[in-house]
């Protein structure tokens, strides 16, 4: 039947197809849909109409005046979304507002019922069918993601996601159709295009089919893009070297897995060696590049020494500092500054740092006979550790201080030519002037002086602080020297043998940085250390003492070393410091959950999350349970008992205070009794 074009108001005839100009169509007041179509839905319909025309007629009824006369306009009973999409096409000049639109005129049925029927009585396509059809369009017609997206009104990224899901093993797509997999689980399988691997992982899954477990199993032999090696090498360099990256289209930006771990390691080492070569150009005897810091190197380390700036550099540093302060005044951060001011401030800041770095330099002997480790930090940045000297080079790099040097000729002069002369000197010692006093008397007198020093030092807390700081510093920073006169021996227990990887953590980096910062300020000769400490202001001196004392803390719990009182003191110290281990430690499979029993895991989830969450994972296998618990506990701040800081003890009243309180209570009682 040929459609009739409506150009003038006519007597409506129901059950015919008519052509109505787009600008003669109106939204029906009896439309059952009160919540309007979303923008994305209108965009999709507009794209479809622009490429394929109107697939389905609109259902309309004529608009009439109060007296029943037709107005020439038509209400859209069914197809309001398509009407809005065509208006969008007209706005984009894909069609014109007077263009005719195929409509079905219906005046017999209730418009509200028709509108409701259209939105209710329909079955949407199963997503799996949609994914496969998208893939077929790509393969049979050669359309890319942009073309398909344009024809269906979706973004190219969404098309890529649907194409990837459509490429999942047909066996798993069928399981999805039969509700054996959720969409999130199917998306997890789409991380790889290897059907055999997908099916293998699917067969190995048990009742726990969390998407993250599926991704973990599919990428078990790959390196995640968040790994420090991947960050350091970069995707471009890795792919240029022939490496393949598995892209996770359903993850946030940066998601992906590097397939070839060996290639990644090789590229990381090569890049580190290039940096090491640049560092060796400073004059160092050797450099070594490592992904992990070689903690067992056993070498002695030297630190930079203070160096006076030249007059020119000193003046420039002062001028740059003043200029920088004036420039940033009134701003809280670089983000608030205009671009030109920000650029100038950053340039001045870099210049100030470069000039300040000149205040410290390595001794020429240390550079000539020492070396550098270039390693990879936990966050993918480069870490350069200078000043290490091998045992065979120590004598050359660290000549004995002049004050301690021994003149061989002087030793020969002191030696007697034969034993008889020595005996004669002893026999005539009372007659010789200037002869040293006896060892016995020396010990006697030095004992009296030691006692006097003890008493005097006990009366001078300020000097005791200096002496203690000097003794600890001389032993912690000058390992070859015995310069202190206090019998205080700091013991520094290395933690690397007790916890694998602890020395590569951010917390260890913070401790090392603090030690190196002090080491750079120390005089080279331990004989000058006392003057250095005395010259410090009170704040710096206390800070140095705190650092030295902190190096000796030992709160290790060892099965062969029972020390309950020491551990009790460690707890009190933690309480006093309000230590919160959750800031630097999280429960993971490697750090805790994979190394305890299932009962401990359930207990952890119960305490950190809820009993319901613990019940949900209680029946899992150990490995799956640990992985699930890691996800559940992330961000909760839960800690095992050994890492928790006890609450500060409530101070008990003294005996005198208790006695006074008892008297007051007694007096109150007597007063009540008297009343």
pLDDT (tens digit per residue) in 41-70: 888 888 888 888 888 889 999 998 888 888
The reported pLDDT for the residue numbered 221 is: 79
Average pLDDT over residues 605-627: 90
Average pLDDT over residues 253-266: 82
For the CA atoms of 629, 185, 144, 86, what is the dihedral angle to 10 degrees?
-110
Comparing 402 with 276, the larger pLDDT belongs to 276
Least confident stretch, 96-100, 316-320, 416-420, 476-480:
416-420
Q: How confident is the model at residue 404 (pLDDT cuts 50, 70, 90)?
A: very low
The reported pLDDT for the residue numbered 673 is: 32
203/254 Cα distance (integer angstroms): 29
- Percentage of the chain modeled with pLDDT above 90: 21
The pLDDT tens digits of the residues spanning 446-466 come to 778 777 777 887 888 888 888
Per-residue pLDDT at 222 exceeds 50: yes
pTM attached to this predicted model: 0.55
Angle between helices 538-550 and 461-477 (to 10 degrees): 50
379/389 Cα distance (integer angstroms): 27
Per-residue pLDDT at 424 exceeds 80: no
17/54 Cα distance (integer angstroms): 14
Comparing 30 with 115, the larger pLDDT belongs to 30
Phi, psi of 64 (to 5 degrees): -125, 155
The architecture that CATH gives domain 4-120 is Alpha-Beta Complex (3.90)
Residue 160 DSSP SS3: helix
* Structure tokens belonging to residue 556: 């290790």
Task: Please provide the average confidence, as pLDDT, over all residues in the chain.
Answer: 81
The reported pLDDT for the residue numbered 652 is: 55
The reported pLDDT for the residue numbered 156 is: 78
The pLDDT tens digits of the residues spanning 132-143 come to 877 787 878 788
Q: How confident is the model at residue 414 (pLDDT cuts 50, 70, 90)?
A: very low
What kind and span of H or E run contains 70?
strand 70-78
In what side-by-side order are the strands of the sheet with 245-246?
A: 223-224, 257-258, 245-246
The dihedral built from the CA positions of residue 278, 283, 286 and 288, taken in this order, carries a sign that is negative
Q: How many CB atoms lie within 10 A of CB 354?
A: 12
The reported pLDDT for the residue numbered 657 is: 52
Q: How confident is the model at residue 307 (pLDDT cuts 50, 70, 90)?
A: confident
- Domain residue ranges in the chain: 4-120, 134-265, 274-400, 460-505+516-554, 585-643
Q: How many CB atoms lie within 10 A of CB 187?
A: 21
Candidates 101, 74, 83; CA nearest to 36 is 83
Per-residue pLDDT at 401 exceeds 60: no
Please check whether residue 112 is in contact with residue 64, taking contact to mean a CB–CB distance below 8 angstroms.
no
The contacts of residue 47 (CB under 8 Å, 6+ apart) are 150, 151, 152, 153
């Amino acid at each position: 039947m040929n459609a009739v074009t409506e150009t003038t108001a006519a007597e409506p005839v129901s059950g015919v197809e008519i052509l109505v100009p787009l600008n003669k169509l109106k939204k029906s007041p009896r439309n059952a849909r009160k919540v309007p179509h979303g923008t994305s839905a209108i965009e999709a319909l507009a794209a479809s109409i622009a490429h394929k025309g109107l697939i389905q007629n609109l259902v309309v009824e004529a608009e009439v005046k109060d007296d029943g006369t037709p107005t020439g306009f038509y209400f859209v009973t069914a197809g309001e979304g398509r009407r809005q999409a065509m208006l969008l096409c007209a706005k984009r000049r894909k069609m014109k507002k007077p263009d005719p639109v195929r409509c079905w005129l219906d005046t017999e049925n209730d418009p509200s019922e028709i509108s409701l029927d259209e939105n209710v009585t329909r079955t949407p396509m199963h997503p799996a069918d949609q994914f496969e059809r998208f893939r077929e369009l790509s393969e049979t017609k050669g359309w890319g993601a942009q073309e398909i997206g344009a024809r269906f009104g979706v973004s190219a990224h969404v098309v890529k996601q649907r194409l990837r899901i459509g490429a999942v093993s047909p066996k798993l797509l069928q399981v999805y159709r039969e509700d054996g997999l959720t969409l999130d689980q199917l998306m997890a399988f789409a991380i790889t295009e290897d059907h055999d691997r997908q099916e293998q992982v699917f067969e190995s899954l048990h009742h726990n089919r969390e998407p993250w477990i599926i991704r973990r199993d599919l990428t078990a032999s790959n390196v995640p893009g968040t790994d420090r090696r991947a960050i350091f090498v970069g995707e471009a360099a890795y792919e240029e070297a022939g490496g393949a990256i598995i892209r996770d289209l359903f993850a946030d930006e940066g998601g992906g897995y590097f397939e070839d771990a060996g290639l990644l390691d090789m590229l990381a080492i090569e890049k580190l060696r290039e940096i090491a070569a640049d560092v060796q150009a400073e004059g160092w005897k050797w450099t070594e590049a490592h992904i992990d810091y070689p903690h067992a190197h056993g070498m002695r380390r030297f630190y930079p020494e203070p160096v006076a700036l030249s007059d020119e550099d000193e003046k420039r540093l002062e001028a740059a500092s003043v200029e920088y302060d004036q420039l940033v005044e009134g701003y809280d951060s670089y983000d608030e500054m205009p671009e030109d001011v920000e650029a100038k401030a950053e340039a001045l800041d870099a210049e100030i740092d470069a000039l300040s770095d000149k205040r410290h330099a390595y001794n020429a002997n240390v550079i000539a006979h020492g070396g550098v480790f270039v390693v990879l930090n936990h966050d993918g940045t480069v870490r350069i550790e200078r000043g290490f000297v091998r045992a065979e080079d120590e004598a050359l790099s660290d000549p004995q201080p002049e004050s301690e040097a021994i003149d061989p000729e002087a030793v020969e002069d002191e030696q007697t030519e034969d034993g008889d002369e020595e005996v004669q000197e002893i026999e005539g010692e009372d007659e010789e002037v200037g002869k040293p006093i006896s060892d016995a008397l020396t010990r006697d007198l030095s004992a009296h002086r030691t006692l006097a020093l003890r008493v005097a030092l006990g009366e001078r807390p300020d000097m005791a602080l200096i002496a203690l700081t000097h003794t600890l510093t001389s032993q912690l920073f000058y390992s070859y020297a015995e310069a202190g006169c206090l019998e205080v021996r700091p013991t520094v227990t290395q933690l690397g043998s007790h916890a694998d990887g602890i020395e590569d953590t951010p917390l260890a980096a913070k401790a090392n940085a603090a030690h190196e910062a002090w080491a750079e300020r120390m005089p080279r000769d331990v004989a000058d250390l006392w003057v250095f400490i005395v010259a410090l202001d009170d704040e710096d001196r206390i800070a140095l003492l705190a650092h030295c004392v902190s190096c000796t803390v030992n709160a290790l719990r060892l099965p062969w070393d029972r020390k309950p009182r020491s551990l009790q003191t460690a707890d009190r110290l933690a309480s006093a410091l309000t230590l919160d281990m959750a800031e630097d430690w999280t429960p993971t499979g490697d750090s805790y959950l994979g190394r305890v029993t299932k009962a401990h895991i359930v207990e952890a989830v119960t305490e950190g999350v809820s009993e319901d969450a613990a019940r949900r994972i209680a029946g899992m296998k150990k490995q799956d349970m640990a992985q699930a618990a890691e996800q559940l506990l992330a961000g909760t701040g839960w800690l095992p008992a050994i890492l928790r800081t006890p609450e500060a003890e409530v101070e008990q009243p003294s005996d005198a205070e208790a006695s006074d309180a008892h008297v007051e209570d007694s007096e109150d009682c007597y007063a009540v009794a008297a009343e």
